[in-house]
């Protein structure tokens, strides 16, 4: 009888032990499925949220406006001006306007600036401290008593007090100086023409470029890598393939008066 009691106790113990394992396994499986469901739900919500943001951005792009006449600085909603843009200037950072979220705004036609503070901007503006990113492109004619800052590119004809623009293509005149990223065309200035890359003709008292593919005419002409012609009182180049004509000429190979090649 005692043996039977112990046998029954062992059976009951094994039964409840096995049942506990089953219950534990079921609980773990349920928690795992619940965690997977929560993860899927989170991913679905995240995907929907991202899609919503993308749709909002698309709506903003679709709502960008095209104007015939606009006042500068350009409003954030304006993507293109086909006609006349006039006002204080195109650069937003230095004209107390919120930074535009648009990749590139365009002006096709006439850009007329009437900024009375141009002389102050010319004295204190430092293009080296400005982000080297295009924000506005002008195609046509620009007339300004001030000038462009680094975020502006131009294709056509321009006359201004100064020009610190990004990429300039065409015929450009400045009463003071140029300090640009790239120049393609003819550039005439009283004080100086400075650029990282110049393809064309630069005519000024002081001409300085890193890469020259064209002609420099002035009192002092300098470049690092040049192909073309330098005409001036002093001509300097680290590597020049072309002709130097002036009182003193220096290239990577030799230094000669009058003519160097």
Residue 151 covered by a domain: yes
Average pLDDT, the chain: 80
Predicted confidence (pLDDT) per residue in 96-109, tens digit: 445 544 578 999 99
Residue of 225, 185, 220, 228 lying closest to 209 (CA atoms): 225
- The C-alpha angle with vertex 106 and arms to 203 and 75, in degrees rounded to 5, equals 120
Residue 95 covered by a domain: yes
Same domain as 54, residue 78: no
Spatial CB neighbours of 259, under 8 Å, sequence gap ≥ 6 = 243, 244, 245, 249
> What is the pTM assigned to this prediction?
0.72
Report which listed range, 15-29, 36-50, 59-73, 214-228, is most confident: 214-228
Same domain as 147, residue 105: yes
pLDDT at 50 over 70: no
Domains contained in the chain, number: 2
Same domain as 47, residue 11: yes
Q: Residue 52 is part of which domain span? A: 1-63
Same domain as 100, residue 39: no
Same domain as 110, residue 71: yes
Residue 104 covered by a domain: yes
Residue 249 covered by a domain: no
Same domain as 71, residue 56: no
pLDDT at 24 over 80: no
More confident residue, 10 or 74: 74
pLDDT at 36: 52
More confident residue, 165 or 62: 165
> How many CB atoms within 10 Å of residue 249?
24
């Amino acid at each position: 009888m005692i043996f039977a009691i112990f046998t029954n106790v062992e059976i009951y113990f094994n039964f409840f032990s096995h049942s506990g394992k089953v219950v534990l396994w079921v609980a773990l499986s349920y928690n795992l499925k619940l965690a997977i469901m929560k993860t899927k739900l989170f991913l679905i919500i995240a995907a929907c949220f991202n899609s919503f943001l993308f749709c909002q951005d698309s709506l903003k792009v679709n709502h960008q406006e095209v104007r015939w006449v606009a006042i500068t600085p350009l409003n954030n909603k304006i993507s293109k001006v086909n006609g006349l843009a006039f006002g204080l200037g195109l650069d937003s950072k230095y004209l107390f306007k919120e930074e535009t979220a648009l990749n590139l705004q365009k002006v096709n036609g006439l850009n007329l600036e009437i900024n009375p503070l141009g002389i102050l901007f010319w004295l204190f503006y430092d293009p080296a401290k400005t982000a080297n990113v295009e924000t506005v492109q002008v195609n046509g004619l620009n007339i300004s008593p001030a000038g462009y800052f680094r975020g502006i590119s131009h294709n056509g004809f321009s006359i201004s007090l100064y020009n610190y623009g990004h990429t300039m293509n065409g015929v450009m005149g400045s009463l003071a100086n140029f300090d640009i990223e790239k120049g393609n065309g003819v550039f005439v200035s009283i004080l100086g023409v400075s650029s990282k890359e110049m393809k064309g003709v630069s005519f000024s008292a002081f001409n300085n470029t890193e890469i020259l593919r064209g002609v420099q005419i002035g009192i002092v002409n300098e470049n690092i890598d040049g192909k073309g012609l330098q005409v001036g009182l002093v001509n300097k180049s680290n590597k020049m393939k072309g002709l130097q004509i002036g009182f003193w000429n220096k290239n990577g190979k030799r230094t000669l008066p009058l003519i160097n090649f």
